[in-house]
Amino acid sequence: MSEDLLHQIARCVEVGKSDAQAKYPPAMAGQPGVSELVQQALDQAVPAERILKEGLTAGMSTIGVKFRNNEVFVPEVLMAARAMHKGMAKLRAVFVDDSMPSRGTIVMGTVEGDMHDIGKNLVCMMLEGAGWKVVDLGVDCAPQKFADAVRQHPGCAVGLSALLTTTMVNMKPTIEAIQTAQPDTVVLVGGAPVTGDFARQVGASGFAPDPQGAIELLEQLLTAA
């Protein structure tokens, strides 16, 4: 039963069906979309982690493979991303408890030239769920934007995301600008093309492959500091 629902969620992400009101894709007009199906899964007590992994992320992976193979193009992927965001908004209420005491502040953003924000938003949501106050600068953030933010939030950590091999190189000047603005700032880096070796090369404090890794690494780095 829940497998079927999770499969439907994945399919709706893949085809970009956000909610029942959405006119796209025309063949699914009037049918429930990601928003309703995620709510249905939550109502049926399907764990949020499963909804994220086997529903939302699974759908995104399928469209990712099609994108790589030139079977779909940017407009279709944008619709899938919009549907994914709708589902993540529903899950936020489960993952995030606004009444928790704050563990500290982290400034998050996708580096200059890069418009990908789904992974970064997931990391933001999970960090909030773990008690961090997240200042989300969004996408395509120039080094100066991060430098200004760390000045405004003394003592904060920073998380940089990049999804493109052409934009991950912008992490180095960004880290330099952050360290000039606030020396010894803890800076985490992540995103599909980023590795631990690359993190060391660009002078990051550490690399996390996924949201849980980011939470654990922050704990380690701040305990060690």
Site residues for ligand B1M per CB under 6 A:
57, 60, 63-64, 67-68, 74, 77-78, 81, 113-120, 122-123, 159-161, 163-166, 188-193, 208, 210-211, 214
Q: Given the complex with ligand B1M, which of 55 and 191 has the nearer CB atom?
A: 191
Residue 9 near residue 34, CB atoms below 8 Å: yes
Q: How far is the CB of 220 from ligand B1M (least distance, A)?
A: 14
Nearest to 169 by CA among 198, 146, 141: 198
CA dihedral sign of residues 209, 210, 213, 217: positive
Measured from the CB atom, is 66 or 99 closer to ligand B1M? 66
Question: Which is closer to ligand B1M, CB of 33 or CB of 191?
Answer: 191
C-beta closer to ligand B1M: residue 138 or 155: 138
Judge whether 33 and 86 are in contact, CB under 8 Å.
yes
* Least gap, CB of 176 to ligand B1M (angstroms): 17
Tell me the closest approach of the beta carbon of residue 4 to ligand B1M, in angstroms.
Answer: 23
Rounded to a whole number of angstroms, the minimum distance from the CB of residue 1 to ligand B1M is: 26
Which residues are paired to 187 by β-bridges? Answer: 158
Residue 193, CA distances (Å) to 18, 39, 162, 167, 225 in order: 28, 32, 8, 10, 28
Closest CB to ligand B1M among residues 44, 195: 195
**Closest residue to ligand B1M: CB criterion:** 119
Q: Rounded CA gap, 15 and 158, in Å? A: 34
Query: Could you tell me whether strands 206-207 and 104-110 are parallel, antiparallel, or unpaired per DSSP bridges?
Result: unpaired
Q: How far is the CB of 30 from ligand B1M (least distance, A)?
A: 26
